[in-house]
């Protein structure tokens, strides 16, 4: 069995620590074990200096300055590192944006009356977004507006219009920067495809040119695909408002059928939640001896459901294997992104069914029930029924649910934040001006077994709020801090005096949960609103970003569009760029002159906090604030 001190080094979360004892006892390998087995990891890969982009390779560059210094085609380390990083951005932007496209399709089908069980929930937002797209709203039914809006939004993906509508939401000064630099995105798919073209053998070899295009594609994610996913999800399922719930593995119930929804797109999970209260299925669950059906979430699909419906969250990325090992999960229902292909292998040790639902994301060993919006409710019922049927095979002797939960308050969409402030960002700006709030930090991103689970998120967040920096969060970062008790109004007691006073007067936590990873677009909208009110660029604001435990390509795209939006961003794990000092210098230094922000990298959360505090104070000074 793994020694306790090893387990404690793996996760900061008491529920995870408990489950790591169980997995060790049961000889179940987890991501942490597999990371150990991968050591030493490939040095060329870590530095970003291997290239597999053609059949003359794979090539690698000797990092010690000796031969080979070029690939077979003659590509240098600078070209190879830039190409590899750009391809990571393409992967991330594609994932977010394809998720966005799926939402557009469901909105379109809903408008046509062809999507079973869906409806347009936020008509006010539908009209607001439609107006941005020039779609007439007066005297029209919501369905008519939604149909035309969905068709207009669909054009954003190719290059029918040659520009992305939501980019107009950025402050004028930011758009000028993008225009001057030639990085205004023309279409979401266009920019992603162009990365793949440029990084093909024998196309773009200029590392600056490659990376600038990477930024362009990332902007098409943040201000395009991701923003589309967020805004259209709000129209379909409702714009989040402050809501209370609970987090961590203790949300699994010993005497109920437990269904975990995991992945990203709310079109599946919303319907699973609906089906779980279907009287026919509840009756069946009771017949099987359960008290009912308990739906909880993992990863960003969890955030989507928490934000709009207050559905409890079982955990973040590194909790997915541990949840199955509780022995209390009947089904883990997944769509796409951040789903470990190991899940069916672990589920085999229990009665758990892993159910894949997306045609584009099948996993060997899983049960595949294809999700179609046209028959959404029926399919969701079929999925939940599989879970209910599995309850009879549960072995009660193997059920070990850690008794760990934490209360949270979530639901802070940009609209909800503005509403809490009285309809304008002015009170927030005033608090920043007086120095009660020194600035705002967005902490986002994943878990990564290279870093003690949640430790960097929680340590960094605590240090920032203590220094009167309001923290906004999304994704697995928000779940980390929710589990740690920082997403409740009482957490204001851990904040500095000024932030504490503001939070207490508004009754809000010092750490605001703004949603899933595509919802980082909400943070962009908020930053743009503040910058417009002050008549400055986003890069002038006392604002910073951080991804202290990032691991996915989506996080790379996010980092790129956050920096492109003018926000200084600190990364925990080192990205694979150190094989080229020129690329590393461009990202951490030279970008400042052209785009007004840079990356910094530090795996130590205390140093990350210092970097952010210094940056915020520097920006305050430049704005003439004390």
* Residue whose C-alpha is closest to residue 164's, from 106, 228, 209: 228
The answer to whether 555 touches 215, Cβ cutoff 8 Å, is: no
Task: Pick between residue 467 and residue 516 the one whose CB is nearest to ligand BF8.
Answer: 516
**Smallest separation, CB 333 to ligand BF8 (Å):** 15
Tally Cβ neighbours within 10 Å of residue 160. 10
Task: Pick between residue 165 and residue 516 the one whose CB is nearest to ligand BF8.
Answer: 516
Task: Pick between residue 304 and residue 330 the one whose CB is nearest to ligand BF8.
Answer: 304
Q: Specify the DSSP class assigned to residue 11.
A: B
- Please provide the distance, in angstroms rounded to a whole number, between the alpha carbons at the two ends of the chain: 55
Task: Pick between residue 351 and residue 513 the one whose CB is nearest to ligand BF8.
Answer: 513
Q: Which residues contact 607 (CB under 8 A, 6 or more apart)?
A: none
Task: Pick between residue 529 and residue 556 the one whose CB is nearest to ligand BF8.
Answer: 556
Task: Pick between residue 7 and residue 443 the one whose CB is nearest to ligand BF8.
Answer: 443
Which stretches of 123-171 are DSSP H helices?
A: 123-132, 142-154
**Smallest separation, CB 300 to ligand BF8 (Å):** 3
* Residue whose C-alpha is closest to residue 328's, from 260, 254, 246: 254
**CA distance linking residue 298 with residue 305, whole number of Å:** 10
The answer to whether 166 touches 133, Cβ cutoff 8 Å, is: no
Q: Which residues contact 121 (CB under 8 A, 6 or more apart)?
A: 235, 236, 237, 238
**Smallest separation, CB 3 to ligand BF8 (Å):** 27
**CA distance linking residue 446 with residue 550, whole number of Å:** 5
Task: Pick between residue 327 and residue 445 the one whose CB is nearest to ligand BF8.
Answer: 445
**Smallest separation, CB 12 to ligand BF8 (Å):** 16
Q: Which two tokens stand for residue 482?
A: 């929710």
Instruction: Name the site residues for ligand BF8 (rule: CB under 6 A).
Output: 264, 299-300, 316-317, 338, 445-446, 475-476, 516-517, 552, 554-555
For the chain, how many residues are written? Answer: 626
Task: Pick between residue 195 and residue 555 the one whose CB is nearest to ligand BF8.
Answer: 555
Q: In what order do the strands lie in the sheet with 543-547?
A: 511-513, 469-473, 439-443, 543-547, 568-571, 599-601
The answer to whether 33 touches 66, Cβ cutoff 8 Å, is: no
């Amino acid at each position: 069995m793994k020694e306790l001190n090893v387990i404690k080094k793996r996760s900061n979360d008491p529920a995870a620590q408990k489950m790591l004892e169980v997995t060790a006892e049961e000889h179940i390998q987890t991501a942490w074990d597999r990371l150990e087995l991968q050591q030493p990891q490939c040095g060329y890969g870590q530095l970003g200096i291997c290239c597999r982009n053609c059949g003359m390779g794979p090539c690698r560059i000797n990092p010690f300055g000796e031969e080979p210094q070029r690939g077979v085609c003659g590509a240098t380390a600078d070209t190879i590192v830039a190409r590899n990083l750009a391809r990571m951005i393409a992967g991330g932007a594609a994932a977010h944006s394809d998720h966005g496209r799926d939402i557009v399709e469901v909105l379109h089908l809903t408008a046509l009356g062809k999507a079973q069980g869906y409806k347009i929930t936020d008509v006010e937002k539908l009209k607001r977004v439609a107006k941005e797209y020039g779609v007439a709203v007066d005297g029209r039914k919501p369905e008519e507006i939604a149909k035309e809006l969905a068709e207009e939004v669909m054009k954003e993906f190719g290059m029918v219009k040659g520009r992305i509508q939501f980019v107009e939401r950025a402050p004028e000064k930011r758009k000028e920067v993008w225009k001057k630099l030639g990085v205004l995105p023309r279409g979401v798919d266009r920019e992603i495809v162009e990365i793949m073209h440029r990084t093909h053998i024998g196309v773009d070899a200029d590392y600056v040119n490659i990376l600038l295009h990477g930024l362009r594609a990332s902007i098409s994610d943040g201000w395009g695909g991701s923003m589309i996913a967020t805004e259209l999800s709000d129209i379909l399922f409702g714009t989040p408002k402050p809501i209370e719930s609970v987090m961590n593995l203790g949300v699994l119930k010993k005497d109920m059928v437990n269904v975990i929804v995991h992945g990203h797109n709310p079109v599946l999970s919303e319907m699973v939640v609906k089906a779980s209260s279907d009287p026919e299925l509840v009756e069946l669950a009771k017949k099987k001896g359960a008290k009912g059906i308990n739906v909880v979430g993992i990863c960003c699909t969890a955030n989507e459901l928490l934000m709009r419906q207050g559905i409890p969250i079982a955990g973040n990325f590194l909790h997915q294997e541990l949840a199955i090992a509780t022995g209390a999960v009947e089904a883990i229902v997944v769509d796409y992104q951040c789903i470990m292909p190991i899940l069916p292998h672990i589920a085999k040790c229990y009665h758990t069914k892993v159910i894949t639902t997306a045609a584009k994301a099948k996993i060997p060993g899983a049960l595949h029930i294809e999700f179609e919006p046209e028959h959404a409710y029926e399919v969701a019922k079929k999925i939940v029924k599989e879970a209910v049927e599995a309850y009879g095979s549960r072995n009660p002797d193997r059920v070990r649910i850690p008794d760990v939960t934490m209360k949270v308050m979530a639901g802070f969409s940009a609209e909800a934040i503005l509403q809490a402030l009285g309809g304008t960002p002015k009170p927030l700006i005033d608090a920043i001006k007086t120095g009660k709030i020194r600035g705002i930090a967005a902490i986002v991103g994943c878990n990564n077994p290279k870093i003690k689970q949640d430790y960097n998120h929680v340590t960094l967040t605590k240090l920032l709020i203590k220094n009167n920096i309001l923290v906004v969060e999304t994704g697995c970062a928000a779940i980390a801090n929710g589990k740690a008790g920082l997403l409740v109004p009482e957490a204001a007691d851990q904040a500095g005096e000024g932030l504490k006073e503001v939070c207490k007067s508004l009754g809000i936590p010092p750490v605001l949960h703004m949603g899933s990873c595509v919802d980082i677009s909400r943070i962009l909208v908020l930053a743009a609103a503040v910058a417009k009110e002050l008549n400055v660029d986003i890069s002038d604001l006392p604002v910073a970003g951080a991804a202290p435990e990032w691991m996915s390509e989506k996080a790379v795209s996010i980092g790129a569009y956050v920096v492109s939006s003018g926000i200084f961003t600190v990364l925990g794990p080192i990205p694979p760029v150190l094989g080229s000092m020129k690329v590393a210098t461009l990202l951490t230094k030279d970008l400042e002159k052209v785009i007004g922000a840079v990356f910094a990298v530090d795996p130590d959360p205390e140093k990350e906090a210092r970097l952010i505090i210094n940056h915020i104070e520097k920006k305050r000074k430049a704005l003439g604030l004390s």
